[in-house]
Amino acid sequence: MPSRLAHILMGIAVLLTAGTAIAQEKAEPQPTAQEGGEPNGTSDSTPLKLPGEPVSAVPFAGGTLSVRAIDGEKAVFFDEAEIARDLSAQLLRQFTVGGAPVALYAMGANAESAAPCNGFLVVVWRDPRGTIRGRTPPFICGTEEPAVKSNALYFFSDKIAPGQINPMVRWTADEGFAIAADLSFAPVPGSSWDQLPDRGLTVRQLMENAAVYAQASTALGDQLFGVVQALENGGAVANPEPGIHIAQGCAPNQCEQVEALGVIDGVHQGTFFAARVNGEVARVWPELEEWPPRARDAYDRFETGEDVRASIPPLPQQKSADGDTDTAPETPKGPNLEAGQ
């Protein structure tokens, strides 16, 4: 059974990256070659012969970048050469990087989509030979704009889950795309159990505590990403009593097959996790003999198929010395990203 769990949970990461791979395939354009003759685009005022209906058009590198509506999709053109096509296309920015004109388009984003990777970016630029090119940054999910430097663009996401490693991608007009660094989740340095608020935290905020994260990482190992992602997918964390945090959720796109339980026990200063696959508990971290009473009670209910989190009423809000209602204390602030070559 543990091997079944490993295969299913690790499949979550594959599902997350699959959307990006498909988006890249859709966006992979043919070079819109303007090599030789007029490298910057059209050289006269002859009207462009383009399919579909016009949506937008802007001057670019001596030619025209335009978006056209074609058969329910939006296509990006440089002059008469198609660069990319998807359900939507929006020009985000134009700038000059390393002496090269650059345009950035958001493609395929859908406001109603709950997919992990909603849309993708296309970078359009004129390379040193004068060719207009359009490419999608590899490994990048979504349409977050890059950091812009004088000679390079840096694409990355700061929404990195515990146990996840995301590349930072650098782009230059001369060399195109390359991985600049790997980014991973990191908790707030030095944060301890004593600094953990006793209620009102999300799964992510719990993991930002260094003591909690260290125990969870040790217990879950390579299952950290899959288990935490399932817990985050469940929404709010319940507090049956001060200092006890209970999360429950299912794996995205596999809710009927994979479910996880997490108990962060600030009283006994421990982390406890379990996973249910196809209705049966497949694995626990650590062994049940090490679970304290409150965590064990949550496990027993989880084992029977109960929604443990939903059955726990909220704790009353804390009162300050002057009688006003206090919110939960904030976790210590600090960086939550690590970068390495």
Give a yes or no: residue 53 inside a domain: yes
Q: Are residues 208 and 309 in the same domain?
A: yes
The model's pLDDT over 163-185, given as tens digits with 9 standing for 90+, comes to 988 899 999 999 999 999 999 99
- Identify whether 327 is part of a domain: no
In this structure, the answer to whether residues 41 and 117 fall within a common structural domain is yes
pLDDT tens sequence across 39-59: 444 445 677 888 888 999 999
The tokens of 38 are what?
Answer: 């007029």
27 with 173, same domain: the answer is yes
Domain-located, residue 126: yes
pLDDT tier for residue 333 given thresholds of 50, 70 and 90: very low
Mark whether 28 and 93 lie in a shared domain.
Answer: yes
Taking a C-beta distance cutoff of 8 angstroms, is the pair 138, 162 a contact?
Answer: no
Domain contains 103 = yes
Contact between 98 and 162 (Cβ < 8 Å): no
Is the residue at 308 inside a domain? yes
Count of C-beta atoms within a 10 Å radius of residue 119: 23
- The answer, as to whether pTM is greater than 0.85, is no
Shared-domain flag, residues 37 and 146: yes
Looking at residue 341, its pLDDT comes to 38
Instruction: Say what the pLDDT of residue 157 is.
Output: 82
5 — pLDDT class (breaks 50, 70, 90) = very low
Residues 32 and 175 both lie in one domain = yes
325, part of any domain: no
- At 141, the pLDDT band (50, 70, 90 cuts) reads confident
One domain, residues 203 and 174: no
Task: Please tell me whether residues 297 and 153 are part of one structural domain.
Answer: no
- Mean pLDDT of the region 192-211: 95
**236/249 Cα distance (integer angstroms):** 10
Neighbours of 75 (CB within 10 A): 21
pLDDT of residue 52: 83
Percent of the chain surpassing pLDDT 70: 77
Domain that holds residue 228: 193-314
| Residue finishing a domain among 132, 156, 185 | 185
Q: How far apart are CA 75 and CA 90, in angstroms?
A: 10
Question: pLDDT value at position 75?
Answer: 95
- Is the pLDDT at 136 greater than 60? The verdict is yes
Is the same domain home to 179 and 74? yes
> Is the Cβ–Cβ distance between 86 and 72 less than 8 Å?
no
Mean pLDDT of 234-247: 93
Looking at every residue in the chain, the average pLDDT score rounds to: 82
Task: State percent of the chain over pLDDT 90.
Answer: 60
pLDDT at 210: 97
Structure tokens at 55: 């949506």
Average pLDDT over residues 244-271: 93
Mean pLDDT confidence for 255-278 = 94
Between residues 115 and 229, which one has the greater pLDDT?
229
Same-domain pairing of 255 and 169: no
pLDDT tens for each residue of 284-309: 999 999 999 999 999 999 999 988 88
**17 has a pLDDT exceeding 80:** no
Reported as a pLDDT band with limits 50, 70 and 90, residue 85 is: very high
Indicate whether 336 pLDDT > 70: no
> What average pLDDT does the segment 108-125 reach?
77
Average pLDDT of 72-79?
94
CATH assignment of the domain containing 207: 3.40.1420.10
Query: Are 38 and 83 within one domain?
Result: yes
Overall number of domains in the chain: 2
Provide the token pair at 58. Answer: 């802007």
In a domain, 307, yes or no: yes
Does residue 28 sit in the same domain as residue 168?
yes
Last residue of a domain, one of 167, 185, 203: 185
